[in-house]
Structure 1
Amino acid sequence: MEHDPFPSWPDIAPRLIETASGRAPADLVFRQGIWVNVHTREALPAHDIAVVAGRIATIAPDLSPLIGPETEVVDAKGRYMIPGLCDGHMHIESGMLTPAEFARAVIPHGTTTMFTDPHEIANVLGLDGVRMMHDEALMQPLNIFTQMPSCAPSAPGLETTGYEITPEDVAEAMTWPGIIGLGEMMNFPGVSNADPKMLAEIAATQRAGKTVGGHYASPDLGPDFAAYVAGGPADDHEGTCEADAIARVRLGMRSMMRLGSAWYDVEAQISAVTEKGLDPRNFILCTDDCHSGTLVNDGHMNRVVRHAIACGCDPLVALQMATLNTATHFGLERELGSLTPGRRADLILTSDLTSLPIEAVWARGQKIAENGKCLVECPHYDWPGKARQTVHVKQELSAMDFAVPAPSGANAVRANVIGVVENQAPTKALQADLPIREGYVEPIEAPGDICHISLVERHRATGEVTNAFVSGFGYEGAMAMASTVAHDSHHMIVVGTDRAQMALAANRLQQVGGGVVIFREGKELALVELPIAGLMSDRPAHEVSAKADAMVAAMQACGCQLNNAYMQHSLLALVVIPELRISDKGLIDVRTFQEIPVFEPLS
């Protein structure tokens, strides 16, 4: 198992003290920049920062006496020196990239610290998969801290995962060098009802002195929410409105406000700070899920900070929410998150605090990016064969595997339909009357926008296919889209207007070992190969992004105009976010955490 090679503060404290006291030269000095102090929310002009062994030794208006013959000097005059940006909650797998390639993609955007929850791979490969992600994370030139996934399955009894995470797994992971805490506790009903397994995982984390991540996806802010908070989760990123943010911080949680590729939840919540005047130190910015196209074309945490500022947040407050607040929450305030003595020298040079151009980036005192280019190597883990051979379905699927037989003697049916909501994780529980032809339900012939949706079991080759209906994608013509990214159980989700196309798409993903594919009228329009756990590519972000862009274009060519519709597709099996989802167990009403029938009686 890899260990973080960066020296601890006690290891180099004598050198830091020698330099700070003026008795020894610095390794690196930033000269005459504008020091952005996130502890005091000040921008202090004409300051120097001295660095020794990758950590900040001292900061003062003039540190020229610390410049020796071997000291590297960086002219920062006229530019702001801000801390490297921290992502407080995210899933690397959502970028379709390995930790190494994700790091290479975000380094030019000024992200120097990530708190990652690899629960996607945990659902496919269990503790072994988490260890692989953890080990590659520790090989990188920036800080990647891993949260041990808590919920695989996310809702026990409502889905079947490739592996199940146990309290014993959690206790073991808490001994690993890069584990920072417990990943988002998605089984919020379990916590609220004092489920022994969930509480055992939380207890193992708290005994290790680490942070318990939250995920409370219910709009109910009454006793169940209070019970959830009492159970131990310390943060939550599932808020979608101002009331959610206020409720969380009032009960002592950190409110994590996310801007991902498809989740736009900052604007609706940040008014708790900008208008209601709540203490901003209890708010954290994060991305949660960003696909490769967003990383390549739009940015990462720099994008989130800019967005928060555009929503009316003071730039220095927004920077706090993406640096110091995050570090403090995870118990790392003395290690990172600010430009102050002893901290890791994670620093960005930028000429403007509002538009936030990321002009140069240092991590641990090493220059890692300049003008949008990554300057360092991001080493790859040697992913074994078991991580690359994870799509196990029966040998060949046919169109009839995706057919929905009608109830005997019926001329029409009333179906429960999953309703997609643009730019949000929740779905709507809809109903629609659907026609029948030759004994099978034909949603495409009904008024409105209704498609087939199928979940193909892919962990144990059971051959099981769960069929239902979905609305909101706008697809037209004979087409299908299939993906082995299907949060959180990561079976295969297939959405289509034509059953033959659905079979083609599903069989194609079995051939390539996982990914995302779109077929129309027998032709493959786009394919993103994701051979690692059916979730990730080990190719560079720009290559994966180009294929993802082609996938988006193919979706649009099939009639879908939703923003980041792929993210909506990939969450249709997430049985912990209301209202309606599909799983290998059937159609799940997440408002009641119960399976419901696909068909309702006609009145």
Structure 2
Amino acid sequence: MKKEDLKNLIKKAKGEEKPELVFKNANLINVFTKEIIKTNVAIDNGKIVGIGDYSGIEEIDLNGKYLSPGFIDSHVHIESSMSTPSQFARAVMPRGVTSVVTDPHEIANVKGIDGIKYMIEESKNSPLDAYFVFPSCVPATPFENSGAVLDADVMEELIDGKNVIGLGEMMDYVGVINYSDKVIDKLLVGNNTIIDGHGPMIKDRELNAYVAAGVKTEHECTTPEEMIERLRLGMYILIREGSATRDLRKLIGAVNRENLSRILFCTDDKHPEDLINEGSIDYNIKLAIEAGIDPIDAITIAALNPAICYNLKNKGAIAPGYDADLVVIDNLEDFNIISVYKKGKLVAEDNKPLFNSDVFLPDHMKDSVVIKDFDIDKLRIPMTSNRANVIKVLPDSLVTDISNRQINVNNGCFEYSNDDILKLVVVERHKMTGNVGLGLIENMNLKNGAIGSTIAHDSHNIIVVGDNDEDILLAINELVKIGGGITLVSNGEVLRSLPLEVGGIMTTKPIEEINIILKEMIDLSYNKLGVNKDIDPFMTLSFMGLPVIPKLKLTDMGLFNVEEFKFVDISLSNA
């Protein structure tokens, strides 16, 4: 803050001069004292200058409506909205989210350091404050091929405490607990910042080692027992409610006044439809209130706690000197958001953004899908028995199970039958290695077609599921043709595609338009292809290639057992 700005703030706080704006008759939610106070709030030059008896140049009478600090999403991958940062802002700011902590490891896996710089610059085209953490695991493991490799020396260039405030989720927990030199170098770069965790399987002494290495947060808890174990070691717990993984109802019962200060909310990965229809962090708050959490406590979790955890100064509360990031709410039962202010300026009203976003797209962020010559023979799965390791999809979870299934074999290869065992294919699309991973998957129920995508966490290779090789091949070719995206095919015909021209994982289209196209495609997948309605077809498919979430996943290098941390054969012994 400049000297004159500070003098001005003090003058306005003392009442020597009128502030620009005063909210009159607000029910102020005080996250420090857990009170609701009927008062006025004075704002000037984007800052709260005082609370109490003020009059302003402009005055807005809230007539007893509730005034909350803006919400902070403590862990989100903006890329999962399929939108650029400035378009993403148009979806979340009407929901009261005024700041996000975002890990751009999706685009970093495709475009490396250029992708991170693009996200930082593009985020400046909206009022949303985006704080970045540097992706710590690009690629996530050595068991897949991504578009880039980011080591510690590259990190030092960008971790500046301003745009990049810490080290992103440390998925390579094996590297941490076995003190891999490459991982230790990364941890040392992030040593004076926040280091995010990603260790759903770690416990006991190995968990102690993980925390001792400097990891401070965890968003992968799926049971209260995991959550309590990590809280006892001083970690912050980020309770996640995303599209594919919904943990809040399972965890919120373990939150109490004693551990409340270590609890945050996040969305992690949320699709456009869910962002628009459910919301963002406001949805976490609503669910928490429904589960019996005091509304002021829920708002504290959503605002003050992430500001403290991530050292976001002057955010997360309504008090003198804090940023005037404010949410006007009708009542604390229904929790309907009326309007949102960012640094004292109205940015959203009645669930609509009141700002435009000037999206830009440099040429180097396009044309990211390149594969080696591909034909249908590459889709054949050789089998040495008629029993197979099969990936079993579970509803509302990134975790899969492992099924031991009997299959049809013809001429030494897997043969499709009328049951629910489908073929899953991952094709490397960054460096033309020619790698093709082949596997089998169940519980998706897809019939007469294929679904393909270049959104495949975290390396974002081409991933396709289908019940016949012809449609799988067509889906692969369509994704190459459109430069990446999502496609549905059936009986030799492309039903619908959503091109994602930004690295094959985002588009510059307005998020409302993305939502319309995606909804049409989801309806087609359910009603035309018969996909299991208990799963989100695209979000679920996108995580079938992630070899850090149990139990069985597929990368371009093969079928991977996450619990054993090794590749396994599709074929099982008949014995």
> Shorter-chain-normalised TM-score: which range?
over 0.9
CA pair 161-11 structure 1, distance change in 2 beyond 3 A: farther
- TM-score, normalised via structure 1 length: 0.93
**Would the aligned equivalents of 1:272 and 1:278 in 2 still touch at CA under 8 Å?**
no
Q: 1:233 Cα deviation (Å)?
A: 1.0
Tell me which of 353, 357, 368 is aligned to 1:390. Answer: 368
Q: Structure 1: how far apart are the matches of 2:4 and 2:226?
A: 43
Q: Identify which of 354, 357, 377 aligns with 1:378.
A: 357
Whether contact under 8 Å (1:244, 1:269) holds in the other structure is no
Which residue is 2:403 aligned to?
A: 430
SS at match of 1:359: strand
1:10 positional shift = 6.5
Give aligned pairs, total: 573
- Ranges in structure 1 where 5+ consecutive residues have no aligned partner: 1-7
Q: Is the Cα–Cα contact under 8 Å of residues 19 and 42 in structure 2 kept in the other structure?
A: yes
The answer to whether structure 1 residue 462 and structure 2 residue 433 are counterparts is: yes
* Amino acid of the structure 1 residue aligned with 2:540: Q
Q: Which residue of 1 aligns with 2:190?
A: 205
**1:370-519 alignment, distance < 5 Å:** 370-380=349-359, 382-395=360-373, 397-407=374-384, 412-442=385-415, 444-445=416-417, 447=419, 449-476=420-447, 478-519=448-489
TM-score of the superposed pair, with normalisation by structure 2: 0.97
Residue 4 of structure 1 is matched in structure 2 by none
Q: Deviations over 1:546-572 (max 9, x none)?
A: 111112112202111123232111001
Structure 2 partner of 1:15: 8
Answer yes or no: is 1:257 the counterpart of 2:239: yes
Task: Please list the CA deviations of residues 491-520 of structure 1 after superposition, one character each: whole Å capped at 9, or x if unmatched.
Answer: 010100011000001100100000010111
Amino acid corresponding to residue 314 of structure 1 in structure 2: D
Looking at structure 2, the residues matched to 482 and 115 of structure 1 have their Cα atoms a distance apart, in angstroms, of: 30
**1:282 pairs with 2:262:** yes
* Aligned partner of residue 102 in structure 1, secondary structure: helix
Q: Which residue of 1 aligns with 2:54?
A: 63
> What are the superposed Cα offsets for residues 383-431 of structure 1, whole Å, 9 maximum, x if unpaired?
2222111001135x33322121233xxxx52111111111011111222
CA distance in 2, matches of 1:341, 1:230: 36
**Aligned with 2:550 (options 567, 574, 578):** 578
Separation of aligned partners in 2, 1:354 and 1:12: 39
Cα distance between partner residues in 1 of 2:285 and 2:8: 34
Aligned AA (1:522): G
CA distance in 2, matches of 1:383, 1:258: 30
Indicate which of 30, 33, 43 corresponds to 2:26: 33
Helix, strand or coil at the partner of 1:581? strand
Pairing 1:42–2:24 present = no
1:223-372 alignment to 2 at 5 Å? 223-274=205-256, 278-332=258-312, 334-372=313-351
Letter matched to residue 92 of structure 1? I
Determine the C-alpha separation between the residues in 1 that align with 2:4 and 2:369.
Answer: 46
Q: Is the 8 A contact 2:86 2:124 kept in 1?
A: no
Shift of the 44–9 alpha-carbon distance from structure 1 to 2, 3 Å rule, reads farther
Aligned-partner SS, 2:255: helix
| 2:82 counterpart residue number | 96
Identity of aligned residues (%): 34
Match of 2:103 in 1: 117
How far apart are 1:201 and its partner, in Å? Answer: 1.2
Q: What amino acid sits opposite 1:63 in the alignment?
A: Y
Letter in 2 for 1:472: N
Q: Which amino acid aligns with 1:153?
A: P
State the shift of 1:299 in Å. 1.1
Q: Is the 8 A contact 1:87 1:113 kept in 2?
A: yes
The Cα shift of 1:27 comes to 1.1
Q: Which secondary structure state, in structure 1, belongs to the residue aligned with residue 211 of structure 2? A: helix
Q: In the aligned structure 1, how far is the partner of 2:307 from the partner of 2:537?
A: 33
> Does the alignment pair 1:590 with 2:572?
no
Letter in 2 for 1:30: F
Q: Unmatched 5+ residue regions in structure 2?
A: none
**8 Å contact from structure 2 (residues 376, 473) kept in 1:** yes
Distance in 1 of aligned mates of 2:137 and 2:107: 12
Secondary structure of 1:268 counterpart? helix
The C-alpha deviation readout for 1:29-84, integer Å capped at 9, x for no partner, is 11111000111111112x11111110111111x212xx2xxx22111122000011
Aligned residue number for residue 172 of structure 1 = 157
